[in-house]
Amino acid sequence: MATKTLSPKSGAHFRLALPPLSGRLRPRLITVCTALAAATFLAVGWAVSMGDFPITFTEALKAVVGVGDPGTLLIVQELRLPRAVVGVLVGFAFGLSGAIFQTMTRNALASPDMIGFTQGAGTAVVAGIVFGWTSTVSTQVLGLLGTFVMAALVYVLAWRRGTTGYRIILVGIGLQWMATSATDYLVARGMQFQAHAALGWLTGNLNGRDWSQALPLALTMAVLVPAALALGRLTRTLQLGDDVAIGLGTRVQFVRLALLVTGVGLVAFGTAAGGPIAFVALAAPQIAQRLAGTAWPPPLAAGLTGALFVVGSDLAAARLFPMELPVGIVTGVLGAPILLWLLIRANRAGSGG
Amino acid sequence: MIPELQAGGLQLAYDQRVVVDDLDVKVPPGRITAIVGANACGKSTLLRALARLLSPRKGAVQLDGRALHSIPTRELARQLGILPQGPTAPEGLTVLDLVTRGRSPHQTWWRQWSKADEAAVHGALAATGIADLAGRAVDELSGGQRQRAWIAMAVAQGTPVLLLDEPTTYLDLAHQIDVLDLIHDLNRNEGRTIVMVLHDLNQACRYADHVIAMKGGRIVAEGDPADVITAENVAEVFDLRCQVTTDPVSGTPLVIPMGRHHTS
């Protein structure tokens, strides 16, 4: 027997007798997630229908599921859809990863692009381009390696009788600047066309993405996204500080390592597919948190915000500007004002942060 | 049945600095115990060890004869609660959300709001007198209300043993008494074992059944407040000359410090 109640004291919740399922519901969070998912769907539909060869929205959606003339199918399935799918996946991965790190460290600045992981990927890829390794190893593999090496370094160097969120951030910022300097050095000593290719990758770009980028990312995310959402429950005690969390029966060091591995996996595969698209991992969780009115970055909403953010920015990059820009330039330009607006609005309403 | 908390041969250290060495302690079950002592005497360190926040270098803390580190962490969290000093909640977290999180050791992936959870949360809100604040953000409350919210979280956890590290610090006098009265109620109404670190000796005498006085990482005296809080012991523990009279309200010892400028 199911009971669904809306008592003013406990808020909305559900409780089934058999199986003994129960939980609390957050109506506003559910609404926000639904709206974000719908908006992302529309953005993808728009992305596959617009271009030099215009296709109507309905035709484009039909072509996605394999109905239409061969020309339309080719354009939608091989050119536009992979790009949109990579955009959705990369954005979701970045947003979710940002939410994980911000929750784990209890600090909004602790997104993977602030604590060196993304810069590690950048150094590895640029080194590959400058030293000519890219003929044997793909930039995707280099990006993965760079992120993983950087994450391992951050974790090991931050370890002192266990890790704390604070030390992870400080060590991460230090390593981030070392990686950035190394990348700058490589770009400076590289030849002109190499430097150009390196800078192109460093901006974050969805241009010319095909299924070979989408597939590895999709497979990884099929594992990591459920893992991250499941770990989300354990972060509810972690948000109260390590001591309280231990007192509430949380294995703090294990949970933090599991979160780190999941978050690094998401950002590593995301970066490998789309490059270090700026600002998404930092801003998407914070935007989602303010939309949903929660006291922490909600993981699912953060992922959806990231997906909408990247696909929307890619659309804007292709349509709003006289020349086609890489998506990474637009995410910063679009994202910063949105976040600032939400922050200012929250401060005016009396509840800061 | 209230579990018994005790420790034997404890050596507690931060890195190379040994704070407590070869300490034995037994917490009287079902009673309120106050640990007192000067700053840096090891009282918070001892409480952290009793709460398994600090692993002993030697010896062990035992709950009903089982070493804490051998008890699965969630099972332990259903027996032993800890409220650390000065906890912070994420900005905007509501009181209801905070108190609900105290139920974590009782919840599973699929069962996150059982009838027992709901009853415990509402019981804790009522017991701490903050039911009408349930929808407010914790960081917007006054210091006294905030401390009540955190205690409510620990109450909702429903542990027979509850440890509190300086629960009255940063509170004004009225709120200090308010929180101590609340702790007294939890002990008398629900029979929970309470161990707390306190700074104020007079409050310790009033509210505790058992006082442990520490200096330099060892226990100088322990027992009934009337036996422990004497002028001699206070002089030894705090290096402070004082007179001890009887509290006109509670009949417990009342410490009147003298200092350098006053004599009797």
Which tens digit of pLDDT belongs to each residue from B127-150? 999 999 999 999 999 999 999 999
Q: Which residues of A touch B152 (CB under 8 A)?
A: none
pLDDT band at A142; cut points 50, 70, 90: very high
Is residue B245 included in any domain, yes or no?
Answer: no
Distances (CA, A) of B173 to B87, B177, B200, B203: 20, 6, 11, 11
Please tell me the predicted confidence (pLDDT) of residue A192.
86
pLDDT at residue A163 is higher than 80: no
pLDDT band at B44; cut points 50, 70, 90: very high
Q: How far is C-alpha A205 from the chain's CA centre?
A: 14
User: Is the four-CA dihedral B247, B250, B253, B258 of positive or negative sign?
Assistant: negative
CATH number of domain containing B212: 3.40.50.300
Å between B264 CA and nearest CA of chain A: 45
Is residue B200 included in any domain, yes or no?
Answer: yes
Question: Do B146 and B164 belong together in one domain?
Answer: no
The partner residue sitting opposite A249, judged by closest CB among B76, B88, B109, is B76
Please tell me the predicted confidence (pLDDT) of residue A235.
92
- Chain-chain contact of B114 with A22 (C-beta, under 8 angstroms): yes
- Chain-chain contact of B87 with A15 (C-beta, under 8 angstroms): no
**One-letter amino acid of A281:** A
Please tell me the predicted confidence (pLDDT) of residue A6.
41
**Least confident segment among A146-160, A196-210, A237-251, B44-58:** A196-210
Question: Do B10 and B32 belong together in one domain?
Answer: yes
Domain span at residue B24 reads 1-79+160-178+185-239
**Least confident segment among A282-291, A322-331, B100-109:** A322-331
- Chain-chain contact of B112 with A10 (C-beta, under 8 angstroms): no
Q: Which residues of B touch A255 (CB under 8 A)?
A: none
CA-nearest residue of chain A to B126? A9
Instruction: Single out the residue of B30, B29, B12 nearest to residue B21, CA to CA.
Output: B12
Please tell me the predicted confidence (pLDDT) of residue A19.
77
- Chain-chain contact of A351 with B137 (C-beta, under 8 angstroms): yes
Q: Do strands B210-215 and B218-223 pair parallel, antiparallel, or not at all (unpaired)? A: antiparallel
Question: Do B47 and B93 belong together in one domain?
Answer: no
- Chain-chain contact of A296 with B90 (C-beta, under 8 angstroms): yes
Structure tokens at A242: 């390590």
Three-state DSSP class for A282?
helix
Question: Do B220 and B120 belong together in one domain?
Answer: no
pLDDT at residue A266 is higher than 50: yes
Highest mean pLDDT among A208-222, A302-316, A317-331: A302-316
Question: Do B121 and B139 belong together in one domain?
Answer: yes
pLDDT at residue B6 is higher than 90: yes
* Higher pLDDT pick, B242 / A208: B242
Å between B203 CA and nearest CA of chain A: 25
Q: What is the mean pLDDT of residues B212-229?
A: 96
- CATH 1.10.3470.10, applies to A86-347: yes
Three-state DSSP class for B219?
strand
Structurally, chain B folds into a number of domains equal to: 2
- Chain-chain contact of B98 with A240 (C-beta, under 8 angstroms): yes
Please tell me the predicted confidence (pLDDT) of residue A334.
84
Last residue of a domain, one of B123, B158, B193: B158
Encode A171-208: b = buried (16+ Cβ within 10 Å), e = exposed.
bbeebbeebeebbeebbeebeeebbebbeebbbbbbee
Euclidean distance between CA atoms B12 and B22, whole angstroms = 9
Å between B105 CA and nearest CA of chain A: 6
pLDDT at residue B102 is higher than 60: yes
pLDDT at residue A7 is higher than 80: no
- Chain-chain contact of A247 with B109 (C-beta, under 8 angstroms): no
Question: Do B65 and B131 belong together in one domain?
Answer: no
Interface test with A, best of B76, B85, B101, B197 (most A CBs within 10 A): B101
- Point out which residues pair with B23 in neighbouring strands: B10
